[in-house]
Amino acid sequence: MAINSFYSKGNNSNSVVDSMIIGRNDQRGFLRMDVNATLTFKFCGADDVYEGASQDLSATGLRFVSPQKVSVGDMLDVCMKPGIDITPPLETTLAVVRVTQTNDGQYEVAGVLQQNDPA
């Protein structure tokens, strides 16, 4: 099943996903969960790997902080490893939609998770 149809608001086949859908008074389609985990990322097509710290995650997006400068429109290959060994890492491509420089010189990056086709 394609990820877009799985997470679609109109698809009522998954009660877990349905429970994450939030009220109509918010523009977001899914609840954001605070997730504090170390992640690594690289610019698509590049070899250099950078580190960041996740802030929150939803069914369609991710927000993290990093000292590495990132720009809106960049595509990043992201790997986020949870603190529990039985949970597999999240490996995805992120389309950057917002970047804000913080007071301490880091960058807060928000992006939309892209569908990765299985190999």
Q: What is the pLDDT of residues 96-109, one digit of tens each?
A: 999 999 999 999 99
Report which of 43, 109, 119 is spatially closest to residue 78, judged by C-alpha positions: 43
Is 53 within 8 Å of 65 (Cβ atoms)?
yes
Parse the chain into domains and list their residue ranges: 1-31, 32-114
Q: How many residues does the chain have?
A: 119
* pLDDT for res 12: 45
111 within 8 A of 100, measured Cβ to Cβ: no
Specify the CATH number of the domain 32-114.
Answer: 2.40.10.220
Which candidate, 114, 80, 81, 79, places its Cα nearest to that of 96?
Answer: 114
Low-confidence stretches of the chain (pLDDT beneath 50) = 1-26, 28
pLDDT recorded at residue 6: 40
pLDDT of residue 90: 86
In this prediction, residue 115 carries a pLDDT of 73
With CA atoms as reference, report the closest residue to 51 among 22, 72, 10, 80.
80
The amino acid present at 39, given as its one-letter code, is L
